[in-house]
Amino acid sequence: MIDKYVILLRKISVRRRLAYAFIILCVIPIFSMIMITTFIQAYYYKDNTQTTYEIFAYESGIRINDIFDQLELKVDYLMKNNDILTDLYLYNTSLEYQTDTVERRIENTIASIMSTQTEIGYTAVITNDGKIFEYSQKEFDINRIRNRLDDADGWNYFEEGEEFLLYRIEKVEIDYTSSETVTFFLLVDRDALGQILDEAVGSSKQKIALIDQGNRVISGLASDHNKIGYQIVEPISNTDFYIRNSFDNINYDFKGAFFALMLSIIVFAVSGIIMYLVHASIRVPLTYLLERIKKFDTELFIIKEEQPKIMSKDEHAILNNEFTNMLIRLNHLLEETYTTKINEIKLRTRIKELELVSLQQRINPHFFYNLLDNVFWMAQMKGFEEIGEMVSALGEFFKTSVSEKGAFVAIRTEIENVRSYVSLQKIMHKNQFEAKWDVDPNIMMDKTVKLVLQPIIENCIVHGFEGMDTGGAIKISGREDQEDIIFEISDNGKGMSEEMCQAIKQKMNSTIYGIGDSIGIRNVNQRIKIYYGNAYGLDIKSIENQGTTVSLRIPKRSK
């Protein structure tokens, strides 16, 4: 099925293929994205805006209701204040108590309670005989409200000119025996109330007004009915007033769609330029190659002059360079054929030489072991026991590393190989160190990746014992750990700092090789992870001037 489409596409020029790809992969998806985004924004814009307006109205209602609750608490506290009620009672019942000192004390008490609430413009306590105790943050004429003293208790307002004044009135008994009452009167400062409504606004399209039950605006801003797109009315607790939140008409903002369109035009332009450059990068080298093929001498099959190689790294450069190499090789081959006419003899001679090399490479590796064995016995006969031991250890070491087939060996074989290597190193380093073995016999028949212990021991000898003449110690241990096998190679060498240890771990787990890296350790770690997975591998712990321990974890395997 895929081949059919490939054959169909190859009937179209490269330019058209790229143009169709540009339309399918760039133009159509981006255009569809713009249309879908615009539709979704237009569809959800109104609902999202209404939700936002409801949040603004809710927050505004909380702030305004909080102010009225505070005013109500002030009035309640004033009406229940024992000092004021006691002084008012004595003032009404005793002529001796009707002094300037008592009057000032009552007014001072009222001021101390009401002065902390900036929204209260005027407060008065009026007795039945017309005596007024008052506190005012601004100058106020009491005669403006005398005809309001008989109004029903609670919140109310009255109109004065073009202004509406909001007030709270309450009649309170101060003598339970004679039912003596006084009238508590609180007038809200109009400017402060207007400022509260302005500060409660959360959007430039929002207007807040305080209205009565007849939808009459007492304070705040009244919206133009022709511009209102959304309106929310909520009551104010403990009053007969309402908060009206008005929002201007909800119009869809096309700025997002316009921005997406402009961004798409830029993407189209950039993609078009890139597509043109890609097309040129394909067309130009193909045209060059076709011109070279047309100029090829079909009669002599000989290249007229050696063509320079193209230094680019793409497929066209490779094709051009290979074509050049082919012409050069063909030229040389034809020149040899035309000049010597013994090409067949040379080829047969070359074949015989290759067969001879192949036969030489098939020599059995046991020839190498037999040679080392002869050297060992000659050294023994001549009295060179140390050389004999080295040759014997070397033979045992190469027996595992060369003759064993496959990537896995028995742990017993790996341990024998390492023992040979350690013996060889002890001779080379003049017994600079001692080796201690502690390998569980139960794991000897399990399998391990070949040559994983030798690089670790080599690092201990080369790096750990650097600068030590004697006293070195290496401990090689192996044990079972549930379903895994753990080898530990410890030394008492110079160790390393925590920073150096972390750096080696980082390099050990990296697949990027650099100059001076621990290639042997990294090779072991990477091979273990390739065969067993990332849960297995090496771990290094070291203490400076005390030694280093390398742990190697592999799964238990019998095959």
Indicate the DSSP class of residue 278.
Answer: H
Average pLDDT across the chain, whole number = 77
Give the pLDDT confidence score for residue 253 in this predicted structure: 57
Give burial (CB, 10 Å; 0-12/13-18/19+) of 47: exposed
Q: What is the mean pLDDT of residues 133-150?
A: 79
Among 241-250, 297-306, 457-466, the least confident range: 297-306
Rounded to 5 degrees, what angle do the CA atoms 178, 183, 184 make?
135
Residues of the chain within CATH 3.30.450.220 domain(s) are 13-288
Would the pLDDT of 304 be above 70? no
The answer to whether residues 273 and 251 touch, using CB atoms and an 8 Å cutoff, is no
- Whole-structure pTM value: 0.40
What does the DSSP assignment read for 347-376? HHHHHHHHHHHHHHHT--THHHHHHHHHHH
Structure tokens, 334:
């034809």
Hey, what CATH topology would domain 420-555 get?
Answer: Heat Shock Protein 90 (3.30.565)
Residue 352 — pLDDT band, cuts 50, 70, 90? very low
Residue closest to 443 by CA, chosen among 345, 323, 333, 554: 554
Alpha carbon 49 to chain centroid, angstroms:
31
Residue 19's pLDDT is what? Answer: 77
d(CA 520, CA 511): 13
**Residue with structure tokens 């341990």?**
415
Q: Which CATH architecture has domain 13-288?
A: 2-Layer Sandwich (3.30)
What does the pLDDT average to over 43-57?
A: 71
Q: Which of 185-199, 467-481, 485-499, 528-542 has the lowest mean pLDDT?
A: 185-199
Residues 6+ apart with CB under 8 A from 200: 59, 60, 63, 64, 208
Instruction: Find tokens 């045992």 and name the residue.
Output: 396
Q: For position 238, what pLDDT does the model report?
A: 84
pLDDT exceeds cutoff 60 at 100: yes
Q: Residues 426, 498: contact at Cβ < 8 Å?
A: no
Question: What's the confidence (pLDDT) of residue 279?
Answer: 67
Band (438; pLDDT cuts 50, 70, 90): very high
- Does pLDDT of 271 surpass 60? yes
Interval 112-122: pLDDT, tens: 988 888 888 88
Q: Which of 77-86, 113-122, 369-378 has the lowest mean pLDDT?
A: 369-378
Per-residue pLDDT tens digits for 307-341: 555 556 566 666 777 767 777 777 777 667 666 66
Q: Is residue 529 pLDDT above 70, yes or no?
A: yes
Beta bridge partners of 248: 228
Q: E strands of 137-259, at which residues?
A: 154-160, 163-175, 180-188, 206-211, 217-220, 228-235, 242-248
Amino acid in the structure at residue 257: A
- CB-based contact 431:389 (threshold 8 Å): no
User: How far apart are the two ends of the chain, measured CA to CA in Å?
Assistant: 43
Mean pLDDT of 340-355: 51
Q: What is the pLDDT of residue 435?
A: 92
* pLDDT reported for residue 58: 86
Residue 117 in tokens: 């609430």
Domain with CATH 3.30.565.10 in the chain: 420-555
172: tokens are 């309170």
In tens, the pLDDT along 203-214 reads 777 888 888 888
Rg of the chain in Å (alpha carbons): 51
Q: Most confidently modeled of 10-14, 92-96, 372-376, 444-448?
A: 444-448
Whether residue 354 has pLDDT greater than 50: no
Q: For residue 355, what pLDDT is reported?
A: 37
